Amino acid sequence: MLDINNIGVSFGGVHALSKVTFTMPDKGISALIGPNGAGKTTLFNVITGFVTPKEGTVKFSGEDITGSRSEQVFLKGISRTFQNLNIIPELTLRENMYLGFIGKEKPSALATMMRFNRGYWKETTKRINDCLDFVNVTEYADMTPGSVPYGVLKNFELGRAFMSSPKLLLLDEPAAGLNLAEKENLAGMVRKIQSMGICILMVEHDMQFISSLADFVVCLNFGQVIAAGTYAQVRENKDVLKAYLGDEDA
């Protein structure tokens, strides 16, 4: 599904990513882990076209998407969420959901303004309601984000990305800031999305969350891949233990 081949990114003299190479399986949930500053989000930005690597290639379903603009990457079937919630404060959650599909479906502005395509919007409203229901935020749908709990907003972001019908969904720290019950609820939704045939790659720090979900794990440290495999394999890797716990000799 996703081939990352020899990716290198530098910001000035800082090597954020260096020779990063791995192949993500065609199915299931994969996770990208590593200490702070390891380059996880930078790699997400490379995949989604926000950062152009100085070397290497990114292939999605066999197609080279290196250097493609974010809009093009999205249209090829890759959606993402961000570490910081990108929910517009002055719009209700239902209105915020529009972002999930208008970029792909591009409904006619004139026809919509003149209300000629009522059928399309009726059908879309149903899809929005279904999606809000899917991520358990229906009761908050007509509220603005300021009056909605953080956990609900995280679910909403996942739902909005799902609304865009992606082939690959990138989740940047989906469980950050959630309590145990909210994490379990989120994990259930992630599994449900995956069972619909959508591939998921997530950046996450919560190892319990990852262990319960991920089939394939890649660990980055200082911009380099130090381990890749199943969660159990990566957990036992000495370099990974050193990256997280420090060097015994130090």
User: Which positions lie near another protein, rule CB under 8 A?
Assistant: 48-50, 69-71, 74-75, 79-80, 82, 86, 88-91, 95-96, 98-100, 102-104, 107, 109, 112-115, 118, 121, 164
Measured from the CB atom, the residue of 54 and 69 that comes closer to another protein is: 69
Smaller CB separation from another protein, 82 or 222: 82
Which H or E run contains 225?
Answer: strand 224-229
- CB-CB contact of 55 with 8 (8 Å): yes
Q: Which is nearer to another protein, 164 or 221 (CB)?
A: 164
Q: Shortest distance, CB of residue 130 to another protein, whole angstroms?
A: 18
Q: How far is CA 31 from CA 9, 151, 159, 174, 236, in A?
A: 20, 21, 19, 11, 16
- Which of 217, 178, 170 is CA-nearest to residue 42? 170
- As a whole number of angstroms, the distance between CA 172 and CA 80 comes to 7
* Helix segments in 97-228, DSSP class H: 102-105, 109-113, 118-134, 150-163, 180-195, 207-213
Closest distance to another protein from the beta carbon of 160 (Å): 8
How far apart, in whole angstroms, are the C-alpha atoms of residue 229 and residue 208? 17
Q: How far is the CB of 111 from another protein (least distance, A)?
A: 10
In angstroms, what is the minimal distance from the CB of 247 to another protein? 37
Nearer to another protein, 39 or 166 (CB): 166
Smallest distance, Å, CB 113 to another protein?
Answer: 4
Cβ closest to another protein, residue 10 vs residue 165: 165
Q: Which is nearer to another protein, 99 or 207 (CB)?
A: 99
Whole-number Å distance between alpha carbons of 65 and 72: 9
Q: How far is the CB of 47 from another protein (least distance, A)?
A: 11
